[in-house]
Structure 1
Amino acid sequence: MQGTDAPQRARFAVPALACDAHCHVFGPADRFPYAPSRRYTPGDKPKEMLAAVHAGLGLGRAVIVQASCHGTDNRAMLDALRWAPARYRGVAMIDDATTDAELRAMQDAGVRGIRFNFIKALGGAPDMRVLHRAADRVRPLGWHMVMQLQGDGVREMEATIRSLDMPVVIDHMGRVDPALGVEGPAFRTLLDLLRDPRIWVKLSGAERMTTAPFDQALPFARALLGAAPDRVLWGTDFPHPNLTTPVDEMELLNLVPSFAPEEADRQRLLVDNPAALYGF
């Protein structure tokens, strides 16, 4: 864990096979170079470091999400999946240059979704024609679409999300502005989207919405869990790219009982839901 003052033990009984459904591996750059077009250059955070974090948290599974600093070169993520195939699943980034053979290899390695970023600091909205072509290619594989949106981006993309004939996962509670509260228009749109049984959301990103102790993020997580208890996921977002202050993953884990006080809800959030979506 990265922080120094945060708790070092979970304050609740972490269920067996609990899953970090949003985390990353970076590099090492001498084996897996970063993309020339990247908007940031992280320090190396290889699979061994990620595994050590999960061991400290008591997590038995993880979904490794391809980050924009590696672009559509998914080799670092795939290397991690093949290193621990029983524990790991993956989400890739692809484009028109990704071959059918590469998609089959990703499927065999444990990839179950593709991701597109809509964050301005990471390059802004993708070419929507590429997104739709990618969706058409992976839909027959049973994969889903992951979208990283921010605030009003949830409203702007609502029609597209509804039009995709596949499961769609919204990262980090939509990265809505906590100052607008749970009645804010972007968050109300997100809640409305969850009426669609194909839409999922990650109750992660508290450290991107506010600062420790992250209390401002809790009403959003509670509302989302209440809206779709069978379609919520949780993740650390390790190693928290582009954040300037250290984050302790144990502190994030210890938020879970604050928005999911019932053991049954925690079992769904941490074990059952990711198992259903990712095929553990």
Structure 2
Amino acid sequence: MSDPRSTTLTGIDSHAHVFSRELSLSAARRYTPDYDATLVQYLKYLGDHGLSHGVLVQPSFLGTDNSYLLAALEQAPRQLRGVVVLEPGVKPGVLHDMARQGVVGVRLNLMGKALPDLAEPVWKDFLGRIAGLGWHIELHRQIEDLPDLARQLLASGVKVVIDHFGRPDARLGLDQPGFAQMLELGRSGRVWVKVSGIYRLGGSERQNLEFARAALPLLVQNFGPDRLVWGSDWPHTQHEHTIDYARVIEQLQALQCPAPLLQSLQVQAAKVLFGF
């Protein structure tokens, strides 16, 4: 493991997961890993690809037990930041402890779930505390539901980070319901989008890449390069047998980003958003 005190920032991977198959898993999970994704492995992937820092995101199958992620943050505090999963009734002291450990956001993974009523008092109180800490809410949901959810979150004062291009369906093109409305969120100045998970866009590899190439200039136009960040989505859960770290780097290169945009995706925008 590298010495975090001597690590120069060369690039940030804004979305990755660490876990062990021995951990207790959420009863409501949609996926069960049969392998380990360790911090040692992850840091090696970063180094092998010229990257220095990363953001660890709590995987949904671990529920709200963030202990494995928090332990990873403690091992490389200068190199890592964390995004956790929490119940809205969590005690304020827990949030402050996590902030000291390097947590900068909360993931709201609503894939396959009923939508919460964010107007409920427990949610309004929770989101107010998240805003007060300067954290963001990372939102993971299909594109058609995403704009309305994001607007509700913005009304509470929090920053919003949208996962994986907003999870559109590449087969439906740029005119699909929700995509134009997501682009409009860029006007707020408080929404970021993760340029990540191209292989999760629902089509063939060719369709996914073509959609991502067409979508990226629109994201730059509406959000600005300073609110777009890149992530590997390592270890590519549910796609482990067809995607690896080298391949997602190749997919990023296939987007043919101009050098200044690539620098912003991997360094400048992420550095500001995640507090490196």
What is the TM-score of this pair, normalised by structure 2? Answer: 0.87
Q: Select which of 216, 223, 229 maps to 1:221.
A: 216
Corresponding position of 1:264: 260
Cα RMSD over matched residues?
Answer: 2.1
Asked whether 1:17 is paired with 2:13, we answer no
Deviations 1:20-47 (A, max 9, x none): 1011111252xx4222332321132121
**Aligned residues of 2:56 and 2:80 also touching (Cα < 8 A):** yes
User: 1:134-165 deviations in whole A, cap 9, x for unaligned?
Assistant: 21222211111110011212244253144231
Amino acid at match of 1:222: P
1:40 aligns with 2:31: yes
User: Which is bigger in relative contact order (C-alpha 8 A, separation at least 6)?
Assistant: 1
Which string of whole-angstrom CA distances, capped at 9 and with x for unpartnered residues, describes residues 153-202 of structure 1? 22442531442312100000111011221232311111111121001100
CA contact (8 A) 1:72 1:93 kept: yes
Aligned positions of 1:183-202 closer than 5 A: 183-202=175-194
- The 1-side partners of 2:19 and 2:221 are apart by 34
Offset of residue 241 of structure 1: 1.8
Match of 2:102 among 104, 110, 116: 110
The one-character-per-residue Cα deviations of 1:88-109 (angstroms, maximum 9, x if unpaired) are 0011111145332221221011
Aligned match for 2:163, one of 171, 174, 180 = 171
Instruction: Tell me how far apart the structure 1 counterparts of residues 150 and 93 of structure 2 sit (CA, whole Å).
Output: 32
Pairwise mapping of residues 2-81 of structure 1 onto structure 2 (< 5 A)? Answer: 17-27=10-20, 29=22, 32-42=23-33, 43-81=35-73
Answer with 15-24 or 62-71: which moved more: 15-24
Who is 1:12 aligned against?
A: none
Residue 127 of structure 1 and its aligned partner are, at CA, apart by 5.1
Instruction: Measure the CA separation in 2 of the matches of 1:124 and 1:243.
Output: 24
Residue 255 (str. 1) matches residue 251 (str. 2): yes
Is the Cα contact below 8 Å between 1:19 and 1:270 reproduced in 2? yes
Give the AA of the match of 1:271.
V
Q: Distance in 2 between matches of 1:25 and 1:84?
A: 13
Q: Could you tell me which residue of structure 2 aligns to residue 91 of structure 1? A: 83
Letter in 1 for 2:20: G
Give the residue type in structure 1 aligned to 2:247.
E
Q: Which amino acid counterpart does residue 115 of structure 2 have in structure 1?
A: A
Inter-partner Cα distance in structure 1 for 2:268 and 2:190: 16
2:233 pairs with one of 215, 237, 243: 237
Cα distance in 2 for partners of 1:124, 1:232 equals 28
Alpha-carbon distance in 2 for matches of 1:90, 1:119:
20
For the residue of structure 2 that corresponds to 1:200, the secondary structure is strand
Counterpart Cα distance in 2 of 1:151 and 1:224 = 14
SS in 1 for 2:138: strand
Aligned-partner residue type, residue 229 of structure 1: P
Structure 2: which amino acid aligns with 1:40?
Y
Aligned counterpart, 1:143: 135
Structure 1 counterpart SS, 2:187: coil
Structure 2: any 5+ residue segments left out of the alignment? 1-7
Taking a change above 3 Å as real, the CA distance of residues 131 and 24 of structure 1, as seen in their structure-2 partners, is farther
Amino acid at match of 1:219: A
- For residues 259 and 188 of structure 1, the distance between their equivalents in structure 2, rounded to whole angstroms, comes to 20
Change (3 A) 1:49 1:56: same
Change in 2 beyond 3 A, CA 1:185/1:118: same
SS in 2 for 1:26: coil
**Is the alpha carbon distance of 1:253 and 1:240 closer, same or farther for their aligned partners in structure 2, counting shifts above 3 Å?**
same
Q: Contact 2:193/2:228 (CA < 8 Å) preserved in 1?
A: yes
Structure 1 SS opposite 2:226 = coil
Contact kept in structure 2, 1:203 and 1:232, CA below 8 Å: yes
